[in-house]
Amino acid sequence: MKSLSILVAEDEVMIRTDIEEALEDSGHVICGSCGDGKTAVDLARQFQPQLAVMDIAMPGIDGLEAASAMHSMGIPVVIVTANSQAGFLQRAENVHVYGYIIKPISEQNLLATVQIAYARWQEFVKTISELKQTRQILQDQKTIGRARSIIQDRFGISAQEAHRRLVQMAMKKQMTLAVAAEKVITQAK
């Protein structure tokens, strides 16, 4: 497994130490360690870990509130807790927690959960990137279609001829077809 920089937030010092040792023994780097949610969020902002392992019940803001803040920073979270009640599980789902381990924690369970959680996070990031690219492609196609219609109406030509002229304009001005289309639309206003 790839070595990750990991933030650990657990208010019980002995459990936090055990988690840190297990992670470090498997090659991970502990970039921050604390016992409360607010400090966890502050450390996450400061060190930008690749993953966080946190308890739910901590002083100040709880682990799920901190997980929500970390998700918005682009940091996946694995929860380690004694709470398996439906309310906690539902909250964990709503804040996009990538793993949920019930105490007592075994080293094997912790390491497997961290590995799978990080893999799921990577898939999520890739999917979001692909979605953004697809949205941009669709927006560009819509813009090109609008520009082609403007050219077609302005010169009374076919859609194919309007598209050819738009391509020629883009090539002549060394710009993408979408940028050329935007210029046509802007000039038509």
Q: With the CA atoms of 109, 114, 120 and 122 taken in that order, what torsion angle do they form, in degrees rounded to the nearest 10?
A: -160
Give the model's confidence band at 171: pLDDT under 50 very low, under 70 low, under 90 confident, else very high: very high
pLDDT at 84 (0 to 100): 78
Give the model's confidence band at 147: pLDDT under 50 very low, under 70 low, under 90 confident, else very high: very high
Greatest Cα-to-Cα distance within the chain, rounded to the nearest angstrom: 79
Run of H or E residues at 75 = none
**Is the pLDDT reported for residue 130 higher than 80?**
yes
- Higher pLDDT residue, 106 or 1? 106
- Mean pLDDT on 65-92: 90
Percent of the chain with pLDDT strictly greater than 90: 88
Rounded Cα gap, residues 182 and 145, in angstroms: 11
Closest CA to 177 of 132, 144, 129: 144
**Is the pLDDT reported for residue 34 higher than 90?**
yes
Domain 5-105 has what CATH class?
alpha beta
Give the model's confidence band at 87: pLDDT under 50 very low, under 70 low, under 90 confident, else very high: confident
- Do domains 5-105 and 131-188 share one topology? The answer is no
- Mean pLDDT on 87-93: 83
Domain 131-188 has what CATH class?
mainly alpha
Domain positions in the chain are 5-105, 131-188
Rounded Cα gap, residues 156 and 14, in angstroms: 79
- Mean pLDDT on 152-165: 94
Q: Among 86-95, 101-110, 160-169, where is mean pLDDT lowest? A: 86-95
Q: Give the pairing type, strands 51-54 and 77-81.
A: parallel
- Interaxial angle between packed helices 177-188 and 159-172, expressed in degrees from 0 to 180 and rounded to the nearest 10: 110
Return mean pLDDT, the chain.
Answer: 94
pLDDT at 168 (0 to 100): 95
